Structure 1
Amino acid sequence: MRTNPNINCIALSATLSLLFLFAGCTKKETQLHATIDTSMGPIVVRLLDKDAPKTVENFVALADGSKLLAEGEDASTAKPFYDGLTFHRVIPDFMIQGGDPAGNGSGGPGYTFEDETYTEGEPLTGEIADQDRAEFVFEQWIVPHLREHRGESPIEFIAKLFGEMQQAQGFDPMYDVTVEELAEALEKEQPIVGRGELINSVDYGTLCMANAGPNTNGSQFFIVTKDGGTPWLNGKHTVFGTVISGMDVAEAISQVPTKAQNMPVEPVIINSIRVNEVKVVVEEKDEEETKS
């Protein structure tokens, strides 16, 4: 039977149109995926290296051991930092925390680094006239200074201000102080840059840095298991990953029996953390959707 060539041409045209349509809606991108192999099963996380590049770089370098290599040491001698550590703190309907070489929440890799929670804002100047600004300046400048001097500032101006804040039990004494006065007292040569936009919220299934206050990140991390996330932690912890498989494992870990300080009775071991580059097909967002 003879086929109609016009029908074949129409069918071919329709097929090509569909191929071009789908090609325009999707694209391939390279993602970093970390497999956290635990004694209760694997958890796979997509690392958000564009949102938190320093944090992801630190995590990856600790995971493969290259971060702690001494100068001149061969990479073949690197010992993966996380292998054999535990989830030392687990709380049902909240989170599971691990990555501490001391195993009790007090340890780290021997250094700290800054948060990646907000985009960069504008330099702050003038009076510290409201609580948000006072709290930010306090966290960024005064807290590290007090930590360095074990809570006792050798600078009379700062010691007096901190004493007044303790007495007032709040930030009110800072409201009449200017950023310039604090910069002079603390000998700060660079301006303090305010917060911009929140980069990521601390949602269910996110991988976040644990810390002891602003800009004290090291090796400890936690995975949020609370349905609806923990919005009260937004901006206080760097979000650097999101779980793409294994949340059932994370939730099971959060439910294990615990003793003092929410430590599991039976250790939950991090057998290893391995990071791989993975090429995935993702949907491209429409221009209008990107703007909204």
Structure 2
Amino acid sequence: MSELLFRAMGTDFHLHVDADGASARRALAGARDEIDRLESVCSRFRPTSDLSRLNGLRRARVSRDLMAVIQLAIGLRELTEGWFDPAVGAAVLAAGYDRPFDEFPAIVEADDRGTAAGTLSVEPDGEVSLGPGTMLDLGGIAKGYAADVACGLLDRIGPAVVSAGGDIVASRPPISGGPWPVGISTPDGERIVHLNRGAIATSGVDRRRWRTTTGEAHHVVDPTTGHPSATDLLRVTVAAGTGAEADALATALLAAGAERGRDLADRLGIAAIFVTRAGTTTPMGVLA
């Protein structure tokens, strides 16, 4: 088993591939390069990124990678009835999230008026169009997408698992047999989930929080209000076929809140673990 640990996209990536030697080292280095490249495409903190260019131009033909992420995001917005929405960039910015989280000052300037989700469409000519005042924020899907891509590259030489800030993507079981064990923290203690392939992602409001000039904020926006979500959930963990899906679905269920989130998960057949601010844990689907 070979591994590589590094920081990208504002979090820690830990790559594992069930192979050894020079080929494993090359594969790990190549997967890291791909994650770094995708960050240069999808980051809203880099003024030269493809995403920043689109946010500035409002309508543009974008790279293949950015188009792939945007189309996934649009599909997941529709699937979740708008609870996951990449067009909340202006609201995230208004909440004070205008730089990488590890660069935040003690108190952040924020605008508490809120900014509702904007409009986003892919035009027939292949260009991406943003409505007036719309900014895209792909923070709820890009990390999972990058983990998917990296895991696929590593799988060319052996079974692989990628951890992106604790969100897990697995290509297939290790050669030794049996699934990959994944720990999920709950108020009742750590749950161990056995993952053969696919992804598990967690979204929460208990970590990326900050003090602002008007109170306190976090990074999960309610698309219906344009404010940081007043959700009664602390965190949500989702199992899905891909990291991008798990990432976005966890964000959607968290923003929707316990009652609406559980109803949405039930209707869509989403496997999830809901942890409320009151400390109750509700598992659903294969995570039950």
TM range (shorter): under 0.3
Higher radius of gyration, 1 or 2: 1
Higher relative contact order (CA 8 A, sep 6+): 1
Q: TM-score, normalised by structure 1?
A: 0.22
